[in-house]
Copies of this chain bind each other. A is one copy, B any other.
Amino acid sequence: MDTIDWQLDRTQASTLYKQIIEKIKDKIANGEWPPGTKIPSQRSMSDILKVNRSTINTALNELIADGLLEASVGSGTRVANNSWSVLASSAALWTPYTHRGLQQPNLSTIQKINTYEFDDRVIRLGTGELSPEFYPKELMQDTLRSIGEHITSLGYEEPLGLYPLREELCRYLARLQIAATPASLLIVSGGLQALQLISLGLLNRSSTLYLERPSYLFSLNLFQSSGIALRGLPMDNEGISLEALQAVPATASRCLYTIPCFQNPTGTTMTEKRRAELYALCAAKRLPIIEDDVYRELWFDSPPPLPVKALDKQGLVLYIGSFSKALSPGLRLGWITGPEPVISRLADIKNQIDYGSSSLSQWAVHRLLASGAFYRHVDSLRGKLLARRTVCLQILEQYFAGIATWTVPQGGFYVWLTLKKPVSLNRLFYTALDNGLLLNPGNLYDKQASQNLRISYAYARLDDLATGLYRLAELIKTYRL
């Protein structure tokens, strides 16, 4: 019988039971545990590896199911005789690799959502993107024709991105009273990539990121994969709680992440007063701020308060924007601006991971900004989105009045629905899917938000939204019985 000459790594992203499986597979694959080898008893493994018997048991059962181990009553568990031919299949070859990388997989609900978003038969009640009906086809057609005439080469771009586009973006930012220069602005492939660059370049496993709870960021595994801790702070209807922020300890490596306009998922917009207080507090605490403002342009009655970045005289704030929400996510185009040394560091990393964003997208957005067409497009979009919000609220009033409450957003895409009684969101998600509805459950954005759903009025056709919300209300009611 072989002994256990390894330990589990509790700092690793992969779960302990997966580590056990991987390790045993490695032993077999390397020939260290040839066919017929009797493996250590569950009790001794549990002692040596300091895990529950049940964890060992789950791992061994999976290996038995895979045909790598064989259990026989009385004589313990042994490496199966045909284990090598099992391992010789391609799946077996790659399985340990696909569990090995630093990056954790997406949350399983997110994986499901990603798949079903491309199934035409489901009604998408929570999707965070504009309906295809808002696609400005003629505008894009003109734009593509015009850049086709203009472009004379499509080589690797400068590390910070296309210079004329950076100039246009600085002009756009000046309207928001943000002083940016082409040297302090980096073009990225969407706001998400800005976040990835920060996770790779500025933070590490000793860092803590403070953020609103709930938040879009909790639905990603991006920061967690780099070992960065996320700490949610409560919010009220003016934004993140200053009291909670006040209590943030003065450790060496920490940042505040905030979505101050039409927050994802609550729809909340931080008031002007709160922004000023938040900035003052962060400045006093030397707490850097990541301001994610991708929904800013989608206001209804009046523009939201100026960005926190507009108050920033000390280089405390990194400011992120994107064309995904107001124009088209398929362009994969956004930006980040902040102190030059930080932007250079992020640009260097971007250059290491993809050599820059698509020049076609960069030229297209440049053209749209330079011609002013982007601004006209957004102007007309606002009214249409408001009309959708109004209808959505009417539908909710009709079907959900007795069973839920909700927020009334002043812009953006989302209504945050709070059910009056608890449900199992997991069961609701799958039951809804069986009934042709794709949901974004609240617990994606806050583990404890077990009575919430993120509803989006931006994506589904209005008749689908009505049908879908009706069906959902019915499900929730029956489901409770």
- Which A residues are closer than 8 A to B by beta carbons? 26, 29-31, 87-91, 93-98, 100-103, 105-106, 111, 114-115, 117-118, 129-130, 132, 135, 137, 140-145, 147-149, 151-159, 189-190, 192-193, 196, 199-204, 207, 220-222, 225-226, 250-253, 286, 288, 314-316, 324, 328-333, 339, 341-342, 345, 348-349, 351-361, 364
Smallest CB gap from A196: residue in B: B353
| A205 to chain B: closest residue by CB | B102
Tell me the smallest distance from the CB of A90 to a CB of chain B, in Å: 3
- Neighbour of A358 across the interface among B105, B158, B189, B222, CB < 8 A: B189
A-B pairs with the 7 shortest C-beta distances?
A90-B315, A330-B359, A154-B330, A358-B358, A132-B153, A154-B328, A144-B148
Q: Residue of B at shortest CB range from A160?
A: B118
Interfacial chain B residues near A360, Cβ < 8 Å: 144, 330-331, 358, 360-361, 364
Q: How far is the CA of A143 from the CA of B147 in the complex (A)?
A: 11
Considering the chains assembled together, what is the distance between the CA atoms of A156 and B316 in angstroms? 32
Please state if B100 and A204 are interface contacts (CB–CB under 8 Å): yes
Indicate how many identical chains form the complex. 2
In contact, B145 and A98 (Cβ under 8 angstroms): no
| CB neighbours of A324 from chain B (8 A) | 156
Question: A383 → chain B, closest Cβ, in Å?
Answer: 20
Instruction: Assess whether A106 is in contact with B352, with CB atoms less than 8 Å apart.
Output: yes
Say whether B148 contacts A354, CB under 8 Å: no
| B288 & A118 in contact (Cβ 8 Å cutoff) | no
From B140, B333, B358, contact of A148 by CB (8 A): B140
Residues in chain B near residue A106, CB distance under 8 A: 348, 351-352
A158 to B140, CA, bound (A): 21
Chain B residues contacting A90 (CB-CB under 8 Å) are 314-316, 339
Query: Which B residues are CB-close (under 8 A) to A101?
Result: 199-204, 226, 345, 349
Not counting A98-B342, A144-B360, a sample of 6 additional A-B residue pairs whose C-beta atoms are within 8 angstroms of each other reads A90-B315, A100-B203, A102-B204, A105-B349, A144-B145, A331-B359
A464, chain B: closest CB distance, angstroms:
15
Contact yes or no, A148 B141, CB < 8 A: yes
Q: Is the CB of B348 within 8 A of A93?
A: no
How far, in angstroms, from A147 to B137 measured CA to CA in the complex?
Answer: 11
- Residues on B with C-beta less than 8 A from A89 are 315
* A251 cross-chain contacts in B, Cβ below 8 A: 30
Say how far A209's CB is from chain B's closest CB, in angstroms: 12
Question: Would you mind naming 6 contact pairs between A and B with Cβ atoms under 8 Å apart?
Answer: A30-B250, A87-B286, A100-B204, A101-B201, A114-B159, A332-B354
Output the nearest chain B residue to A251 by Cβ-Cβ distance. B30
B154 touches A135 (CB 8 A): yes
* CA distance in complex: A114, B437 (Å): 48
Q: Among B144, B151, B200, B342, which residue has its beta carbon within 8 angstroms of that of A94?
A: B342
Q: Could you say which residues of chain B place their CB within 8 Å of the CB of A354?
A: 189-190, 192-193, 196, 332, 354
